[in-house]
Structure 1
Amino acid sequence: MTAIPMETADPYGLMHPERRKDPYTSYARMHRDGPVHYCEPWGAWLVVRYSDVTAGFRDLRLLSARTGQFGAGLSDEVRKMMEPLARNLASWTLFLDAPSHTRLRGLITKAFTPRMVETLRPRIRALIEELLDAARGKERMEIISELANPLPVIVIGEMLGLPRDDRHRLKRWSDQLAGLIGTGRPTPEQVKAGLGAILEFEAYFRTLIARRRTEPANDLLSALVHAEEQGSLLSEQELLSTCTMLLFGGHETTTNLIGNGLLALLRHPEQWELLRASPELLPDAVEEFLRYDPPVQFTNREASVDMEIGGKAIRKGERVMLMMAAANRDPAQFKDPDTLNVRREELRHMTLGLGPHYCLGAALGRMEAQETFAALMRRFPNLKLEPGASLDWLDSAGFRGLLSLPVVLGAEAR
């Protein structure tokens, strides 16, 4: 079989390394050319129009149970190797449909309601102040490693009841897993790294779960263990998978929301000054950051029947990618979609999903971001991007975030 030239198979450059720096130019071209495009390297239909992405989240014909896609295009040997990985991911609520999704989500939703999350606000504020205190007297700070990474890891870790000193290895495993989940078509190397991370996660949580069975505590992990013991509400694999998903999802996207949002503000100093003068705009500003440069660019589905989307015939079993980040830049939905505007009135972005799979940790991520930006603007009003800073992005198509964000702090406010 003759290989398809890359410029033909990937006409929008989605596989090109430069896309990590700016995927939005590609999305703009896709919007001009049509609402749905087939990407040969990813073996998937890419849906970019806002109305179609919205409909896709609500369409029960598009299945979330799609973990078999991770092995697509890989050798039988590699697919065999990744069985423990597929088994863990298959019990994530992210990759389930009703009724299993409804049952599992119901067990953990109560811990993430806006009312429950609000009780965490004082602790989150204290953690942010503690992390910023470590920069006191310094001229510079590296935002990702010193603030955006540790904060959400500590918060979700404390909710689960994990030792704080474990956060560095937990973050390392999460990054390895993100390299797998956030790709259109994983390489054998990404599968190997993701498998290693899952095995480490499961061994780690098995030890803690065994301890909670005999020594329960007032934490989310104990509550999940108790649910399992109350009559097969959670199987052992579901318990391990849910703990892994909560740890991963509870910090990976929030780290990127803080980093991406702060970079956007620093590149638009007039928006920084506007927020400083009107801090009551912060909740809406965080929604604009989620729209403008979202930490998650797309999510996958699988067609359960032959169907049509945007005038394209989708066959049963084919992969459909709902491109939230592209939908957020749809000029038919958002005025001046490529402009950062913290006063934007149309805030119905698609970053957090819609319907049954709406982001479980949305309230927690929003709060962490709001409190972080409020503290930074209050304590370091003259914060600036470090001149000549080289900005490198995660090597992931699905997860968008900075590896580092060096800033000049300026004089701390008294």
Structure 2
Amino acid sequence: MSALLAPRASVAPFVDLEFLQDPYPAYQALREAGPIHWSEVFFGGAWLLTRHADVEAALRDPRLSACRTGGWVMRAAEPDARLDLTPMQRLFTRCLPFLDAPDHTRLRKVLQPAFRSDRVQALKPVTQALIDELLDEAGDSFDFMQKVARPLPARVIAKLMDVDASVYADFTAWSEDIAAFLGSVNPTQAEVRAAQRSVVTLAGYFERELLPRRRREPGDDLVSGLLAAQADGSVEDGAELLAQCAMLLFAGYETTRHLLGNAVHALLTHRDQWEMLRKAPELLPNAVRELLRHDTPVQWSGRRVAADFSLHGQRLRRGDLVIALVGAANRDPVRHARPDVLDVARASPGALAFGTGPHVCLGASLTQLETQIVLSTLLRRLPTLQLRGPIQRTQSPLYRGFTHLHVSA
């Protein structure tokens, strides 16, 4: 097995503070050193893929399974605590991102209509009204993450799912506990237990409150659609139904808030790109794709080897973990000319930020719409916006973003 390389021998990538601030030099060193590496950092050992072609192929490869939660959840627990984690494990194993065909295909077919173009576009007025309201309340100097990037996607996905506004503060806190667990390369006991509480509490909200209400009063929302699918046998009642509800609420919030923060930070630190968009707002759809490529909010995706095979001279064994480093692939110079340069007018900036293949992100179009609307509104209403510290990054190697991002007009 090849050694995990880093820009300096003393650096421990994925856990080092310098890496968390800027992972891209470490990714470059890995790409240049070879196409595949073994690292003991991830969950006791994993194969790392760094190049665009390999990451894209891995996300499409049927020999690599998305069903990877069993050992991952239980490995993090102390032996006498594993029984306590059974409820969390039961929910994770039924979540769409952690399923293979035919279950994945069946559930994706159920969920996909909620993210059709017409359904997403119907949320445009709601999203615009929300960003205007949030900016009205924020004033001239504010923490963009706390005042905009956190509340906006939370309220949009809550609208799509008809989640009560009163639950907003709770579910964002639950989501952050879950993200801390998912984003750790070796979760602590505290992270495991916090995630367990939050996953079970989030599922409990649906089980005790929203699902019974929607059974009595069906509507034109995503949860009502899931209940209709459950009634016709397309979705199993119990853990499978609850897992989709919890996963959608979490995913609709977590990725989008980090994209919003990364996008604003990137544009305000590349002032020429901000000014280009201010003068040519028609570039915004392209700009969002480039911002996703340049600093993707989700830095990797994991898979388990389902059957032995060889890759670049290494033997991958059944059960081995494979980490497809999307953040590294999106800066691969073989795929993208001048990959470290942010260019909102870049031709064909499409990258792997939302994955590819069977598990490509269901909510990609919604996330991009929200980001376009937020950026368009900032450029129009606050054209002289600037960064005004303090700025604080997340301490997660998986979810790249900010916890605080202070700006002023």
Residue 336 of structure 1 aligns to a residue whose secondary structure is coil
Contact preservation (8 Å) 2:88, 2:199: yes
Distance 2:185 2:108 in 1: 26
Q: CA separation of 1:7/1:121 partners in 2, compared to 1, >3 Å: closer, same or farther? A: closer
After superposing the two structures, state which structure 1 stretch, 9-18 or 78-87, moved more.
9-18
Residues 1:93 and 2:112 are matched in the alignment = no
Residue 111 of structure 2 aligns to a residue whose secondary structure is helix
Residues 1:353 and 2:355 are matched in the alignment = yes
Q: Which residue of 1 aligns with 2:13?
A: 13
Distance 1:13 1:232 in 2: 43
Distance 2:77 2:360 in 1: 31
Q: Which residue of 1 aligns with 2:40?
A: 40
After superposing the two structures, state which structure 1 stretch, 101-110 or 117-126, moved more.
117-126
Distance 1:166 1:121 in 2: 23
Question: Once the 2 structures are TM-superposed, how far is the Cα of residue 77 of structure 1 from its aligned partner?
Answer: 2.3
Residue deviations 1:191-237, cap 9 Å, x none?
11110111110111112111222222332212212221233633221
After superposing the two structures, state which structure 1 stretch, 254-263 or 229-238, moved more.
229-238
Q: CA separation of 1:82/1:17 partners in 2, compared to 1, >3 Å: closer, same or farther? A: farther
Residue deviations 1:250-290, cap 9 Å, x none?
11100000100110001100110011011111001000110
Question: Once the 2 structures are TM-superposed, how far is the Cα of residue 73 of structure 1 from its aligned partner?
Answer: 5.7
Q: Which residue of 2 aligns with 1:120?
A: 123
Question: Once the 2 structures are TM-superposed, how far is the Cα of residue 344 of structure 1 from its aligned partner?
Answer: 1.1
Q: Which residue of 2 aligns with 1:181?
A: 182
Q: Which residue of 1 aligns with 2:402?
A: 402
Query: Which AA in structure 2 matches 1:147?
Result: V
Residue deviations 1:159-183, cap 9 Å, x none?
1111112211110000000011122
Q: Which residue of 1 aligns with 2:112?
A: 109
Query: Which AA in structure 2 matches 1:385?
Result: L
Contact preservation (8 Å) 2:262, 2:402: yes
Q: Which residue of 1 aligns with 2:165?
A: 164
Q: Which residue of 1 aligns with 2:391?
A: 391
Count matched residues. Answer: 401
Residues 1:332 and 2:327 are matched in the alignment = no
After superposing the two structures, state which structure 1 stretch, 243-252 or 108-117, moved more.
108-117
Within-5 A mapping of 1:62-81: 62-68=64-70, 69-72=72-75, 74-81=77-84
Distance 1:335 1:218 in 2: 45
Distance 1:326 1:84 in 2: 34
Residue 343 of structure 2 aligns to a residue whose secondary structure is coil
Which of 207, 218, 221 aligns to 1:219? It is 221
Q: Which residue of 2 aligns with 1:144?
A: 145
Distance 1:170 1:73 in 2: 24
Q: CA separation of 1:277/1:259 partners in 2, compared to 1, >3 Å: closer, same or farther? A: same
Distance 1:261 1:57 in 2: 25
Question: Once the 2 structures are TM-superposed, how far is the Cα of residue 144 of structure 1 from its aligned partner?
Answer: 0.7
Any unmatched runs of 5+ in structure 2? Answer: none
Distance 2:347 2:74 in 1: 42
Q: Which residue of 1 aligns with 2:270?
A: 268
Contact preservation (8 Å) 1:259, 1:405: yes
Q: CA separation of 1:232/1:340 partners in 2, compared to 1, >3 Å: closer, same or farther? A: closer
Query: Which AA in structure 2 matches 1:115?
Result: D
Query: Which AA in structure 1 matches 2:124?
Result: R
Contact preservation (8 Å) 2:226, 2:235: no
Residue deviations 1:88-125, cap 9 Å, x none?
11111100000000111111100002232112112211
Within-5 A mapping of 1:287-306: 287-306=289-308
Query: Which AA in structure 2 matches 1:51?
Result: A
Q: Which residue of 2 aligns with 1:412?
A: none
Q: Which residue of 2 aligns with 1:236?
A: 238
Query: Which AA in structure 1 matches 2:132?
Result: E
Q: TM-score, normalised by structure 1?
A: 0.93
Identity of aligned residues (%): 39
Any unmatched runs of 5+ in structure 1? Answer: 410-414
Contact preservation (8 Å) 2:235, 2:241: no
Distance 1:299 1:198 in 2: 20
Question: Once the 2 structures are TM-superposed, how far is the Cα of residue 357 of structure 1 from its aligned partner?
Answer: 0.4
Residue deviations 1:372-408, cap 9 Å, x none?
000000000000000xx13222222211110011001
Contact preservation (8 Å) 2:88, 2:196: yes
Question: Once the 2 structures are TM-superposed, how far is the Cα of residue 347 of structure 1 from its aligned partner?
Answer: 1.5
Contact preservation (8 Å) 1:78, 1:188: no
Query: Which AA in structure 2 matches 1:22?
Result: D
Distance 1:8 1:269 in 2: 31
Distance 1:285 1:27 in 2: 23
Contact preservation (8 Å) 1:46, 1:321: yes
Contact preservation (8 Å) 2:290, 2:350: no
Distance 1:278 1:9 in 2: 45
Q: Which residue of 1 aligns with 2:210?
A: 208
Distance 1:164 1:220 in 2: 16
Q: CA RMSD in A?
A: 1.9
Q: TM-score, normalised by structure 2?
A: 0.94
Q: Which residue of 2 aligns with 1:59?
A: 61
Q: Which residue of 2 aligns with 1:364?
A: 366
Query: Which AA in structure 1 matches 2:390?
Result: S
Q: CA separation of 1:79/1:115 partners in 2, compared to 1, >3 Å: closer, same or farther? A: same
